[in-house]
Amino acid sequence: WVVADFYRAAGDWGSRPSIVYLHGTGRAGRRGLWIRRPASLLAAAGYNVLAIDLLHWGDRATGLLTTFTDEEQHARLYNDTAAYREWVARTVGDVRRSVDVLRDRYGLDERAVGLVGFSRGASVAPIAAAADPRIAAVVMLYGGHIDREETGHSASACNANYIGLIAPRPLLMVNGRADRRIPAAASVEPLFALAREPKRILWLDTGHQVPGREAWPAILAWLGDALP
């Protein structure tokens, strides 16, 4: 099972492609505005969206995180090697089950599913996509290798070891030139270099945030080619 909200695509939704959407680090998980607004926009553009709660957030809170500050999340999860490795493995399973839900509950084509992640959700997306060949395309919104407060991960939980396995499926990375959380030179560019074609990176003049409306025409155009 997964804890999720389903956004039905506009029009003939049963014949439209789908997206599994992974949230960032806000306490509300899938219910945060940074998820609901993009998910609604994607649905209006013709994509079914399954926005899920990741372990420790939203309705899947466990008590591991209580304040949800950057300091707490890094101390208790991201920089705890064993805890993060388990979380990554659980997230990979969540994505696999999400594709199953789209197929079994909603009757949608499991061969036409994209994976979109924001921030932490973006950073784990390459691992989930590498593990499930049904993922047809990947969009990383403001994700990278590691953020400025991370000390590193075990090999099995490091997206640098997986991003090259997305190909020949297409990859889009969307990042901010002024992002201090996920620095371009230290985190984004090295990870993008490890990805194989077909790949594209879209740089925006922003910090760490959900892409604004001005960025979505380019993102939707890319998705239109990747998930026709």
Average pLDDT in the chain? 97
**Domain total in the chain:** 1
Look at residue 39 in the predicted model and tell me its pLDDT. Answer: 98
User: What angle is formed at CA 50 by the lines to CA 14 and CA 136, rounded to 5 degrees?
Assistant: 75
Q: What is the pTM of this model?
A: 0.97
The total number of residues written for the chain in this structure:
228
Q: Residue 35 — very low, low, confident or very high, per pLDDT cuts 50/70/90?
A: very high
Look at residue 108 in the predicted model and tell me its pLDDT. Answer: 99
Instruction: Kindly state the percentage of the chain with pLDDT values over 70.
Output: 100
Q: How far apart are CA 86 and CA 70, in angstroms?
A: 19
User: What angle is formed at CA 194 by the lines to CA 190 and CA 198, rounded to 5 degrees?
Assistant: 120
- Which residues, listed in sequence order, are joined to residue 72 by a DSSP beta bridge? none
Mean pLDDT of 80-93: 98
Domain holding 20: CATH number? 3.40.50.1820
Which secondary structure element, helix H or strand E, spans residue 4, and what is its range? strand 4-7
What separation in angstroms does the CA of 151 have from each of 18, 76, 78, 79, 191? 35, 13, 8, 6, 16
Range of the domain at 179: 4-226
Residue 228 has pLDDT above 90, yes or no: no
- The string of pLDDT tens digits covering residues 181-220 is 999 999 999 999 999 999 999 999 999 999 998 999 999 9
Residue 1 has pLDDT above 90, yes or no: no
Q: How far apart are CA 125 and CA 115, in angstroms?
A: 7
- The string of pLDDT tens digits covering residues 148-183 is 999 988 999 999 999 999 999 999 999 999 999 999
Q: Residue 141 — very low, low, confident or very high, per pLDDT cuts 50/70/90?
A: very high
Q: Phi first, then psi: what are they for 48, rounded to 5°?
A: -70, 135
